[in-house]
Every structure is written in C-alpha cells, then in structure tokens.
Amino acid sequence: MGGDAPFGSLWTCPRCGRGFANRNQTHTCRPLVPLDEHFAGRPPEIRAIFDAVLAVAERCGPVTVLPEQTRIALAARMSFCALQPRSAWLDGHVVLARRFEHPRFRRIETFSPRNHLHAFRITSADEIDADFTAWMTEAYQVGEQRHLQKN
C-alpha cells in the first residue's frame, strides 16, 4: 500500500511509540523529556510566553505537546509548530502551506510547494496578538493536513 496513513489514522513507530501521518517517517526516535526540563533555569516569563502560545494553539483544536530533547513540538496529525525556550525569549516556527512574508518572521525556509517554515522570536506575551493567532490557526490546519484534502 501507499506510504501515507489514511486521514484519521496515524502510523505508530514500533521503536518509540510516537504517531506520525506518514509511514516510516524520519524522526529522531528518542524518548520525550519532561516538559519542565525545557524551562529549568529560565525566568518564569519564558514559561508564561510558552503557556500563552499553547493556549492559542489549543483554541484551534486538540494539540499534542511533544517535549523532545532540543525543542517542544506542537502537533495535530503532524507537527505544525516548534518552540525552543531561551533565557530571554522563546524561539519558534510555524509551518504554513504557503510562503507568507511578514516583518516578524526572522526567516522562511521552503521545503516544498506546500511546506514553508516561518521562524519567529517572542520576547513578551504581548506579542501573541491577532497576527500571531492567525499564523497559529493557519499552521494548525496544516498540522491537521487540511491543505491536502480535496474540496
């Protein structure tokens, strides 16, 4: 059969137990770490920024938080956002199905016609505004693979 799991079901890696939208998807295959490890030694404001970002994502629908070794991924069917707490800010990216230029994106990486990583940095929870919410909402739809469904 094909390499993609049908919509509604995920392929589960037999080694690490994580679910993926694509069969045999490349991944680090390591156990997840406790979420709090990402915030150890960081000011409480960084955790507050993360919590605010997560709240925006969860307003879009169910979110799986995957605290990996080097980042915290947010996933629906697939990862749509990744975050890296730093000592004075939160670095992250959203995956959009289109390239979207905006001054708040630090860089944009295009992997395919419908896979564009948009990197950002948040230094204050005040930056989680209507623009940010729109990006997260669009990224969540990519995470659900809605951009691949035929109308």
Q: What would the pLDDT profile of 8-55 be if each residue is shown by its tens digit?
A: 566 666 666 666 655 655 656 677 899 999 999 999 999 999 999 999
Percent of the chain whose predicted confidence (pLDDT) is above 70 = 77
Residues ≥6 apart with Cβ < 8 Å to 150: none
Q: The pTM is what?
A: 0.83
Q: What would the pLDDT profile of 50-105 be if each residue is shown by its tens digit?
A: 999 999 999 999 999 999 999 999 999 888 999 999 999 999 999 999 999 999 99
Token couple for 75: 């996933």
Kindly provide the residue ranges of all beta strands, DSSP E only, lying in the chain, ordered along the sequence: 11-12, 19-20, 64-67, 72-75, 79-85, 90-96, 107-112, 115-122
Whether the pLDDT of residue 1 is over 50: the answer is no
Confidence at residue 78, expressed as pLDDT on a 0 to 100 scale:
87
User: Band of the pLDDT at 3, cuts 50, 70, 90?
Assistant: very low
Average pLDDT over residues 132-148: 90
- Calpha distance 92→40 (Å, rounded): 18
Token couple for 2: 């094909």
Place of tokens 């799986």: 64
Whether the pLDDT of residue 142 is over 80: the answer is yes
Nearest to 128 by CA among 104, 106, 144, 103: 104
Whether the pLDDT of residue 147 is over 60: the answer is yes
- Calpha distance 127→129 (Å, rounded): 5
Confidence at residue 125, expressed as pLDDT on a 0 to 100 scale:
94
Confidence at residue 21, expressed as pLDDT on a 0 to 100 scale:
58
Whether the pLDDT of residue 141 is over 90: the answer is yes
